[in-house]
Amino acid sequence: MRVPLLTILTLLGAFALAGCDKNEPVHNSRFLAFGTLTDVSIVGVPREKALAAVESLEQDFAIMNRAWHAWSPGPLTYTNKMLAEGRRFAVPPSVLVLMKKSAVLARQSDNLFNPAIGRLIRLWGFQRDTLEPWHPPDEEAVRKLVEANPSMDDIEIDGIHARCRNPEVQLDFGAVGKGYGIDLAIAHLREMGIENAIVNSGGDLRAIGSRGGHPWRIAIRGASGSGILGFLYVSGDESVFTSGNYERNYLWKGKVYHHIIDPRSGHPARGTRSVTVIHENAMVADAAATALFVAGPQDWHRIARQMGIKYVLLVDDDNVVHMNPAMAKRVQLMDKQQTVKISAPLMDDVGHGLP
């Protein structure tokens, strides 16, 4: 799964909870999931109920991580084996739902979000548990995979069965699984009667309700991966996801190679340092952050419209901040001298529902 650093910091403690009503109990917990730290903050319920909720979420995330892990044996690796063989097979339910939803998002993004390029991701060294040094792959190997053009449209889904026409398709849900998992976690909390909470997995988060009547205050990490670029507030029900070139990378002969691969070139995407997206659905925000990173400063606006995204902040390689007007109204930048480029508005009615 994608293993980002803390690209967005939920300001708990003195920042996030300042001003909370003293009668509103707050419970903060942390556990490891999807290869990163997950913070859960629950407001307004008894301690015993909050502890039970967090324990349940931790178990849920462990199950999801096993089901969607791209290289450890499990439902997804089995699915990839069957897809490569081109045989019709019954897809494990935990994988089938992500296949269907990801196919919709891939088409909306013009396949800039493309979970079928797992072989490319592995070729670049980003499907591994170890931290040993790595090097860029052979150019001929990259070229062959790009020419094979693996995509979600290569997979024929018939009920619970599937068959793949392209043996180079290999699914990797690293750019969408965490978002879907957070959506399921929020749904689980609501089933337990919890209406004020935030689930923050490695900096990608979804917040519901409020913190004692006050919006959740979120800090956006600087495009270099350190410091704070700015703040925004969320309340009601919103997700905030960031993709950055500092999240997973390695240095080879003085050049940094990051994990966000452009399916069109087969190489790490260029032109973007980070993208932050707000959307009510965490899975959509997760996929969109990757797609807009690949789209870059020249094409992010068009792809955002197609995906129904209303709030985008993109930092390009020249450290220029690109935002649509609605996002600009919500973000408080720390550096008042920061170069900012405001785009045309994003339409509100271009989104399409997931199946």
Same domain, 302 and 328: yes
Do 216 and 322 reside in the same domain of the chain? yes
Report the C-alpha gap between 8 and 10 in whole angstroms. 7
How many domains does the chain fold into? 2
- Report residue 86: phi and psi, to 5°: 75, 15
Give pLDDT tens digits for 107-158. Answer: 999 999 999 999 999 999 999 987 678 999 999 999 999 999 999 999 999 9
Please check whether residues 226 and 288 belong to one and the same domain.
yes
Q: What secondary structure letter does DSSP report for 214? A: B
284 lies in the same domain as 334: yes
146 with 226, same domain?
no
Q: Do residues 31 and 106 share a domain?
A: no
DSSP state of 264: T
In a domain, 348, yes or no: no
User: 137 and 284 share a domain?
Assistant: no
- pLDDT (tens place) for every residue of the chain, 355 residues total: 443 333 334 333 333 333 444 468 899 999 999 889 999 999 999 999 999 999 999 999 999 999 999 999 999 999 999 999 999 999 999 999 999 999 999 999 999 999 999 999 999 999 998 767 899 999 999 999 999 999 999 999 999 999 999 999 999 999 999 999 999 999 999 999 999 999 999 889 999 999 989 999 999 988 887 889 999 999 899 999 999 999 899 999 999 999 999 999 999 999 999 999 999 999 999 999 999 999 999 999 999 999 999 999 999 999 999 999 999 999 999 999 999 999 999 975 443 334 3
Q: Are residues 246 and 108 in the same domain?
A: no
Structural domain containing residue 144: 75-164
Task: Identify which of 88, 27, 13, 96 has the alpha carbon closest to the alpha carbon of residue 57.
Answer: 27
Per DSSP (E only), the strands in the chain are 8-10, 26-33, 36-43, 89-90, 155-158, 161-164, 197-201, 204-209, 216-221, 228-234, 236-244, 249-252, 255-258, 272-279, 311-316, 321-323, 332-333, 340-342
Minimal CA–CA distance to 53: which of 180, 177, 190?
A: 190
Q: Which of 144, 164, 184 is the last residue of a domain?
A: 164
Instruction: Indicate whether 22 belongs to any domain.
Output: yes
Does any domain span residue 175? Answer: no
Calpha distance 210→195 (Å, rounded): 8
Taking CA 351 as the corner, what is the angle to CA 218 and CA 230, rounded to the nearest 5 degrees?
Answer: 20
> Please, are residues 70 and 171 in contact by the beta-carbon 8 Å criterion?
yes
In a domain, 180, yes or no: no
272 contacts 245 by C-beta, under 8 angstroms: yes
**Count of residues in the chain:** 355
State whether 20 and 121 are in the same domain: no
349 domain-assigned? no
User: Is 188 a member of any domain?
Assistant: no
Phi-psi group of 89: left, alpha or beta (phi > 0 → left; psi -120 to 50 → alpha; rest → beta): beta
CATH of residue 58's domain is 3.10.520.10
Q: Is residue 177 part of a domain?
A: no
Do both 202 and 110 map to the same domain? no
Spatial separation of the C-alpha atoms in residues 103 and 162, rounded to whole Å: 13
How many alpha carbons lie under 13 Å from residue 40 in its C-beta half-sphere?
23
Are residues 226 and 313 located together in one domain of the fold? Answer: yes
Q: Which residues contact 309 (CB under 8 A, 6 or more apart)?
A: 277, 279, 284, 285, 288, 292, 346, 351
Rounded distance, CA 189 to CA 170, Å? 33
Question: Which helix H or strand E contains 180, and what residues bound it?
Answer: helix 177-191
User: 132: domain CATH number?
Assistant: 1.10.3980.10
Q: Which one of 143, 164, 185 terminates a domain?
A: 164
Q: Are 26 and 17 in contact (CB under 8 A)?
A: yes
Q: CA angle, corner 267, sides to 118 and 171, nearest 5?
A: 10
Phi and psi angles of residue 215, each rounded to the nearest 5 degrees, phi first: -65, 155
Residues 199 and 329 placed together within one structural domain of the fold? yes
Residue 284 lies in a domain: yes
